[in-house]
Amino acid sequence: MKELLIATKNKGKVREIDNLLGPLGFKVTSLLDHANMPEIIEDAETFRGNAAKKAVVIARHTGVLVMGEDSGLEVDALDGRPGVYSARYSGEQATDESNNDLLLKELSGVPYEKRTARYRCAMAFADKDALIDVVEGACEGIITSERRGTNGFGYDPLFLIPAYQKTFGELDLTVKQTMSHRAQALKKFLKLLENYLVRTSY
């Protein structure tokens, strides 16, 4: 079985990607499945930059096909923050809980119509020799004034999809996977992967 290594330790991300890629005959692994992986400092100013860095470093180290993924939340009322700092928004020891607490605090008093936001995702594809390409996806939403639902991870309990009037924390994973930023990026990533397999007979 072909292996695709997701350059992350985030179990939530791996689960979502595995649900979409697994049926295609790929063994999806993550940094949690491999020992002695190099530490990657996510110091790029964009999701694309961080995703590419992860993919290239890990692919060179392991010799397997790698997806480097970086994603986060952009809130218009906060001038695009937390952006690339989404995972560590509330500090180096940030948790989903502390990040959500800070987001609610910073948006306190901001009216519903001005709480627009989007999840953005970049996925980079690399083999042991080079970066193949980087693709992106985005999903528009509204930040609620309180947590709703226990599904998902990250800012999902606060990210409302207007068409459903439910947050990603309330929506079933199968519904989320039809529209999420990660799902949009993954559709493009699959084309990259298919073209690569045809070109290289991997």
Mark whether 18 is an active-site residue: no
* pLDDT recorded at residue 48: 96
Give the domain CATH number at 59. Answer: 3.90.950.10
Annotated catalytic residue within 18, 33, 43, 70 = 70
Average pLDDT over the chain, rounded to an integer: 92
Read out DSSP for 132-170?
EEEEEEEEEEEE-SS---SSSSTTGGGEEETTTTEETTT
Count of domains forming the chain: 1
Beta bridge partner(s), residue 134: 124
> Using one digit for the tens of pLDDT, what is the confidence trace for 48-88?
999 999 999 999 999 999 999 999 999 999 999 999 999 99
Cα dist from 115 to 55, 56, 77, 102, whole Å:
33, 36, 6, 15
Domain that holds residue 89: 2-200
> Using one digit for the tens of pLDDT, what is the confidence trace for 9-46?
888 888 878 877 766 778 889 999 988 889 888 889 99
Strands 166-167, 159-161: parallel, antiparallel or unpaired by DSSP? antiparallel
Say how far apart CA 135 and CA 125 lie, in whole Å: 9
